Amino acid sequence: MARAMSSSETTLLKDRQEDPDSADGSQPGGTAPLLRAVALQRPADELVQLVAMLNEADQSDYAQQILDTTATLRTVEDFAAVVPKVGSPQAVHALRLAAAQRPVAELAELAALLFGNGQSGYAREVLNTTAAERPVEDIAAMVPLLVDDQAANALHSAAAQRPVAELAELVGHLYGTPDTLPAGQGRWKLRR
């Protein structure tokens, strides 16, 4: 059953109708505030339906805005529920955005939820993006939060994509010796 729109949503829609050039949300009354409100307030199943309807209506940019807001601002549980139902490159884009912006503890939880729901490809996307793009300190903080095979996946991805100097720094953080010598001046002292 559809929910009645709030007065703020009605005002946003009215403003949009009066100023169609503000559709990108860059001006007051644009669709961005409305899409953000929808992404934050609607149940996850309704978001999936809305994304599908927007895509069918050739409004994929709006669908992506909803997914991106869900990826970064909704609970990890909500986002993990939406991702497999949406599928597609839009879900991958949202996963990458989450991996870039969410705290590492939430990323570990997201990966665990996705692995647990049989969505290993999406879970690996989170781990791979984190390992490739986040600071090494973040990777080192996330690894202990993951189960063995997930941690191995993240470390393998970091090893495949990071420069050697960053890998040395990552190893130092993992072994609890983040203080390093300047590049090229000695070796790490690893504790066993």
- Rg from Cα positions in the chain: 20
User: What span, in angstroms and rounded, lies between the C-alpha atoms of 51 and 90?
Assistant: 10
Q: Spell 172-190 as b/e; 16+ CB within 10 A means b.
A: bbbeeeeebeeeeeeeeee
What does the mean pLDDT of the chain come to?
A: 79
The token duo for 79 is: 């986002």
**For residue range 78-112, what is the model confidence (pLDDT) as tens digits?**
999 999 999 789 999 999 999 999 999 999 999 99
Nearest C-alpha neighbor of 119 from the set 154, 139, 95? 95
Q: What average pLDDT does range 45-69 have in this prediction? A: 92
What are the residue boundaries of the structural domains of the chain, listed by start?
29-102, 105-192
Are the beta carbons of 191 and 176 closer than 8 angstroms? Answer: yes
Note the Cα 146 to chain centre separation in Å: 17
Residue 173 corresponds to which amino acid?
H
Total residue length of the chain: 192
Residue 159 corresponds to which amino acid?
A
Note the Cα 170 to chain centre separation in Å: 22
**For residue range 125-137, what is the model confidence (pLDDT) as tens digits?**
999 999 989 998 9
Read off the pLDDT band of 153 (50, 70, 90): confident
- 187 has pLDDT over 60: no
